[in-house]
Amino acid sequence: MKTVRVAGVGLTHFGSAPDRTGRDLFAEAAQRAFDDAGVARSDVDELNYGNFMGADAERQSHQAPIMADAAGIHCPATRYELACASAGVAVRAAVRTIRSGAADVILAGGMERMTNLSTPAATDALSIAADSLFEVRAGITFPGAYALMAQAYFDSFGGDREDLAHIAVKNHKNAVPNEYAQYQREITVGQVLDAPQVASPLGLFDACPITDGASAIVLVSDSYATENDIDAPVTISGTGQGSDRAALSEREHMAQTPAATAAAEMAYAEAGVTPDDVDVAEVHDCFTIAEVLALESIGFYEPGAGIGAAARGETTADSDRPINLSGGLKAKGHPVGATGGSQIAEMTRLLRGDHPNSNHVSDAEIGLTHNAGGTVASAVVHILEVDK
């Protein structure tokens, strides 16, 4: 099985870009990835591109060949759609293809343009990642769905809104030095608790923003890197994917996410590591409760033990295992089709030492990314390692 290396990464600033098109955003991310990688565009064998709501937001389906053209590459191009895990599964497919020997260079990533829609329209477009028949038609949106998950967690294990507030505060603080983050400003626990409620028990600062942005990753085989003298110290040593019932009402437990557990176990097994070996992680915190569920599902905490981690200082930047040093979806932003690729890009920069928060993990050798779709009906987990 071939080793897969991250040759280069590229991101746009995450935020509001009402005057730009999706292809413009992806072209920028791709340009940065190629510049970082030092890989010729003519060497790219495939494009794996993640996007969820382009048909609604830009009235454009069949985006993959358009994005290949925007990136300046001429190769087979495929769009991957797995709700908010679209780019995560695009990267996973690229890793598996290179490992198989079918390709040596793949450009993977994604894009989402969302702020050109009104908040109600964006909420409606996102809602169809839930079960349309049993949830969407009943009026469920994702703030409401994650509120149900948060309340189920409190009922089962305890915890309160202040525990969640510490997660938001932590991730906003981490985003301050990140030049790609949507919200580069700190907030306080008091601000989180005093903010308007969106869906009880979740308030405004418990939710990630509506975001425009793109991510691009140049992945190469180890042999290609060696033959072309490519400096690519970060490898993707493990990848896993899991699925669950889409409707919350059909699940055994609304406060656990077995799809992520399955994905993590698969990724750990491939990499030959355990949760205790992981030094730093980027997890899918679309809502503050989602970070808690993620930490428990990937084996960092037992069920019910993750709720106070941020308040106890166990996941902050100066802790032994920082979580979401990028700012997470909460503060960095969440352009849904790009997020999984963004997590890989941020983790690569952290492990290489060229992220503004790399000083917090200067000795880190193993990182994990956790990307979820819907209410974690889909999950993709990657293990990244750096040559020391």
What local confidence, expressed as pLDDT, does residue 144 receive? 95
Low-confidence stretches of the chain (pLDDT < 70) are none
Catalytic, 382? Answer no
* Distance (Å) of CA 327 to CA 70, 77, 147: 28, 31, 21
Catalytic, 334? Answer yes
CA dihedral 192→197→200→202, nearest 10 degrees, is -40
What local confidence, expressed as pLDDT, does residue 157 receive? 98
d(CA 375, CA 243) in angstroms, rounded, equals: 11
Return the H-helix or E-strand segment holding 157.
helix 142-157
Taking each helix axis from N to C end, the angle separating 339-352 and 86-100, rounded to the nearest 10 degrees, works out to 60
**Do you find a cis peptide bond into 201, omega within 30 degrees of 0?**
yes
Which among 308, 290, 303 is positioned nearest to 162, based on CA atoms?
308
User: Do 212 and 24 touch, CB atoms closer than 8 A?
Assistant: no
φ, ψ at 126 (rounded to 5°): -70, -30
What local confidence, expressed as pLDDT, does residue 180 receive? 98
Given the residues 75, 84, 208, 286, the one annotated as active site: 84
d(CA 318, CA 61) in angstroms, rounded, equals: 43
d(CA 334, CA 84) in angstroms, rounded, equals: 9
Q: Got the DSSP string for 57-121?
A: HTS----HHHHHHHHT--S-EEEE-BTBTHHHHHHHHHHHHHHHTS-SEEEEEEEE--TTS-HHH
Bridge pairing between strands 105-112 and 46-50:
parallel
For 46, the token pair is 């495939």
Which among 6, 2, 3 is positioned nearest to 219, based on CA atoms?
6
Strand, helix or coil at 382? Answer: strand
The CA angle 231-237-243, to the nearest 5 degrees, is 135
Q: Domains, the chain, ranges and CATH?
A: 4-117+209-383 (3.40.47.10)
What local confidence, expressed as pLDDT, does residue 224 receive? 98
Of the CA atoms within 13 Å of residue 14, those in its CB half-sphere come to 37
Furthest-apart CA atoms within the chain: distance in Å: 57
Does the pTM surpass 0.95? The reply is: yes
Given the residues 166, 172, 284, 334, the one annotated as active site: 334
Of the CA atoms within 13 Å of residue 84, those in its CB half-sphere come to 30
Of the CA atoms within 13 Å of residue 339, those in its CB half-sphere come to 39
